[in-house]
Amino acid sequence: MKAWLVLEDGTVYQGDALGATGIKSGEVVFTTGMTGYQETLTDPTFVGQIVVMTYPLIGNCGTNADDMEAGKPFLHGLVVREASRWPSNWRSQEDLNSMLTRCGVIGIEGIDTRSLTRKLRSQGTLKGVICSPPEGSKNVPTTAELTAMARQCPHVDRASLIKQVTTAQPYQIGCGSVRVTVIDYGVKQSILKCLVDKGCLVTVVPATASVQEILATEPHGILLSNGPGDPRDAGFAADTVKKLIGLKPLFGICLGHQLLSLALGADVFKLKFGHRGGNHPVKDLRTGRVLITSQNHGYAVDAQSIDPRAAYVTHVSLNDGTVEGLRHRSLPIASIQYHPEASPGPHDTRFIFDEFMAAIVQSAS
């Protein structure tokens, strides 16, 4: 069956249907990771987005329950050059097409993803729509109708992205002696697993939890998780973080880093095409060491807006010089723009969790 990806500027890509049928709009972004397509599919940060995989063959290892980063995929569509229908891996439980179909994710394969990626790099991210009509359907929208839908992007509510992916109720995992409360803006399960591995009793609370509800969990430290969208659309979250400053050690990852920066008085801006993939070099300014990191974000902290009396930059991107980490001048507060848990990799930066644990111990002493 045929499928179409139509961009807001009227560009049309015709390919073959993959996964579920239907029509879904979203922001079209690309990710450069050569591995980890299942982690990408199930990362809640991709809610509202149509994801283009730059690596040409996707699905050759199948999918399995252990590599899920959330209970289900939240992305609005998947674009690949070629999807493997015959996975070969001892951990495989389901092929990619079957997983997408079962989870209701619309995809398209067989298009020139190199051309599409170059377009997004030169023009920036664009809104788009995937149309994959059921077999025999006679009500296929015209190109003009799909272009209009791409421009309107009716399936994306920017103001509610975090609320679409956060947990509905608090829950706990692990059984360690260090109590860490995670504010869930769209947390990856691998982050929680890393905390459990460090000996933490982890309490996960909704993004809408109040300061009182967060402190009622009696945390030794608080982690601000990754999540989707423009942090400026999540004023409620930044306000909560601002009230938590000085009460407990804080550690932010990705969106959590941006929300913490807003709470400290800094500003953010939208990147032209974002940082997404597992191969982004970052320099740790404290040591001079270069780290290969996993990233997934479309916004960055404005370095010029950071109050030097409150915080300083600890990490920068070697691709474009943007801020990749902050640390407070006097309080046990730090944040990073990249993903230290990575999953599937690289794991260069998992030591960041040790730094968070050390800050908690030092704060308690």
Decide: residue 33, CB within 10 A, 0-12 exposed, 13-18 middle, 19+ buried: buried
Residue 341 annotated as catalytic: yes
User: Would you say 183 and 210 are in contact if contact means Cβ atoms under 8 Å apart?
Assistant: no
Q: Please indicate whether residue 339 is annotated as part of the active site.
A: yes
Phi and psi, residue 336, nearest 5°? -135, 150
Place of tokens 């990749």: 324
Active-site residue (options: 8, 27, 39, 341) = 341
Q: Degrees (nearest 5) of the Cα angle 345, 48, 61? A: 35
- CA 279/CA 84 separation, integer angstroms: 23
362 CB-near residues (< 8 Å, 6+ apart):
332
Neighbours of 9 (CB within 10 A): 13
- Residue 205 phi/psi, 5-degree rounding, is -120, 155
CA neighbor of 4 nearest in space, from 87, 77, 93: 77
Quote the tokens at residue 218: 């009696």
With contact defined as beta carbons under 8 Å apart, do 184 and 145 qualify? Answer: no
Which residue type, as a one-letter code, is found at position 169? Q
Distances (CA, A) of 251 to 3, 124, 248, 343: 43, 30, 10, 19
Taking the CB of residue 92, how many other CB atoms lie within 10 A of it?
15
HSE-up (13 A, CA, CB side) for residue 161: 29
Out of 254, 257, 275, 324, pick the active-site residue. Answer: 254
- Please say if 155 is a catalytic residue: no
DSSP state, residue 121:
H
Residue 27 half-sphere exposure, CB side, CA atoms within 13 Å?
A: 22
Q: Tell how strand 57-58 and strand 82-83 pair up.
A: parallel
- Angle formed by the axes of helices 255-263 and 235-244, to 10°? 70
Strand partners for 275: 297
Catalytic site positions: 254, 339, 341
